Structure 1
Amino acid sequence: MDWNRVEGNWKQMKGKVKEQWGKLTDDDLDVINGKRDQLEGKIQERYGYEKDRTRKDIDDWYNRQTW
């Protein structure tokens, strides 16, 4: 997976991230700034998911994106 696409297009991706994980705030998204590890941490914090589930959810979301 080439996460650089997400980082490079973060301003456009924020809306898609928020659609998927609506509990993330705009401030969260500003802090995340496209960094996958930050996204994982915020999802775990807001949703109470374990690390493996969070990684799988992000991978699934990423693979559904149309580039």
Structure 2
Amino acid sequence: MNLDQLEGKFNEAKGKLKQKYAKLTDDDLKYSEGKFDEMLGKLQEKTGQTKEQLKEEIDKL
């Protein structure tokens, strides 16, 4: 899955991620175009998962 596809899928997955990781806030999940990797870094800090694990999880949602 390329980055564009992952970004599109992420928009659908936000609610499910918030349910699974209760400590995530709307600000954590805020996406600015061109800053997807930066946002993944924030999610990585909050969840303890690697960026690759997060990408795989988003792909599955």
Structure 1 unaligned regions, length at least 5: none
* d(CA) in 1 for partners of 2:8, 2:55: 17
Residue 12, structure 1, aligned to residue 8, structure 2:
no
User: 1:21–1:4: structure 2 CA closer, same or farther, 3 Å change rule?
Assistant: farther
Structure 2 unaligned regions, length at least 5: none
User: Equivalent pairs: percent with the same residue?
Assistant: 34
Which structure has the greater CA radius of gyration? 1
- Higher helix content, 1 or 2: 1
Q: Which residue of 2 aligns with 1:61?
A: 57
Superposition deviation, residue 28 in structure 1:
1.5
Superposition deviation, residue 45 in structure 1:
2.6
* d(CA) in 1 for partners of 2:14, 2:42: 14
Q: Which residue of 1 aligns with 2:3?
A: 3
For 1:64, the aligned partner's letter is: K
Q: Which residue of 1 aligns with 2:42?
A: 42
* d(CA) in 1 for partners of 2:50, 2:59: 14
Count of equivalent residues: 58
